[in-house]
Structure 1
Amino acid sequence: MNVPAIRTADVPLIAEDAPRCGRCGCRLSRYNSTAYCSGCTRHVGEDPPARCVVPPHVWHSELIRDALSCRDFGRLCRLIREIGSLRQEDMSRLTGLSQAFLSMLESGQRRLTSIDRIVVLLDGLSVPAELTCPMLQLSVDKNSAQLNAGY
């Protein structure tokens, strides 16, 4: 039996039809038969949690700035989570990248090389422009140096 191969580029980052918690919006397990995640089930009478955001103090960290300048997006995600007290699920909701992909990115099993995904990640995390411009400027400077050298 021949089964056509699926290219990884054709596989969506997050299943669009994945069930979501009716209170906080996190993805539910396919085995969950209720409308709420286990955390929200314990707190049904309370107000839903506020939309998660990356705390502003995170961007002042020299470690974060270093990870951005090195374009080490796995380390960047891990540091943002640790300094900002976020979960991978929170990062997934912010960026649109799956929790599994973020886990592999942080552990070094996967790399973020697609400019589209890099933009999605940085935009979802609301990285300040003054931190992303130097990173992008380095690429422009290298490219212009190569063009001037005849490469």
Structure 2
Amino acid sequence: MRVQNVRRCQCGCILSRYNRGAHCSGCIRFMRNGQPPRPDIPPHVWESPQVQEALLDRDFGQMCLVVRQLSSLRQDDMAVLTGLSQAFLSMLEAGTRRLTNVDKVVQLLEGLGVPIELTGPMLRTSAPERTSPNQQSPLVRANGCGTLHSATRPLLPPMDDS
């Protein structure tokens, strides 16, 4: 068995045997362009009936897929926002994995900046700050009364006392 000398970039990733340089492509992009901008999700995404329905059905994979498509983000961008790995997000979107850990659900929802009106206060570590008490969410402004299905159908079922 032949042992190969593994070369690593300064960031720790293994360099391809075809890469003759000292840095990986991610580090080269970073050095060339400076700090990459943090991806963000436009507010209109949360008004989408597909996103709202996926949240109501607790189908976080479908929600991630639709949010990503409407925001023109990559899975890597979603991983940066949520702290979940790109591989896990890929499996979540494909339906081969489910998000069942409540801490991970909260991490996903807060990372994406899902409005509290769509999730309910139980799925957040803290309420988002508003600049004035009369300020409403974009959902409420868009529809007058809003499409707040979470008020009639909670995201998580009630706890069983047994």
Q: For the superposition of Structure 1 and Structure 2, which TM-score range results when normalised by the shorter chain? A: 0.5 to 0.7
Deviations 1:14-63 (A, max 9, x none): xxxxx75xxxxxxx85226416517716x81x454321111111111010
Q: Sequence identity of aligned pairs in percent?
A: 44
Task: Quote the residue 1:137 is aligned against.
Answer: 154
TM-score, normalised to structure 2's length? 0.63
Over the residues paired in the alignment, what is the CA RMSD in angstroms?
2.9
Letter in 2 for 1:115: V
Higher helix share: 1
Task: Quote the residue 1:31 is aligned against.
Answer: 15
TM-score, normalised to structure 1's length? 0.67
* Aligned partner of 1:109 among 96, 99, 122: 96
Shift in Å, 1:139: 3.2
Task: Quote the residue 2:70 is aligned against.
Answer: 83
Task: Quote the residue 2:144 is aligned against.
Answer: none
CA separation in 2, counterparts of 1:34 and 1:131?
43
SS in 2 for 1:54: coil
8 Å CA contact 2:82, 2:108 repeated in 1: yes
Extract unaligned runs of 5+ from structure 1.
1-18, 21-27
SS in 2 for 1:137: coil
Task: Quote the residue 2:124 is aligned against.
Answer: none
Task: Quote the residue 2:45 is aligned against.
Answer: 58
Task: Quote the residue 2:127 is aligned against.
Answer: none
Extract unaligned runs of 5+ from structure 2.
1-9, 17-21, 121-149
Residues 104 and 38 of structure 1, relative CA distance in 2, 3 Å threshold:
same
Letter in 1 for 2:156: S
- Aligned length in residues: 119
Alignment of 1:84-99 (within 5 A): 84-99=71-86
Shift in Å, 1:109: 0.8
Task: Quote the residue 2:141 is aligned against.
Answer: none
* Bigger Rg over Cα: 2
CA separation in 1, counterparts of 2:70 and 2:95?
19
CA separation in 2, counterparts of 1:38 and 1:108?
32
CA separation in 1, counterparts of 2:27 and 2:107?
29
Ranges of 4+ aligned residues in structure 1 off by more than 6 Å: none
Letter in 1 for 2:15: Y
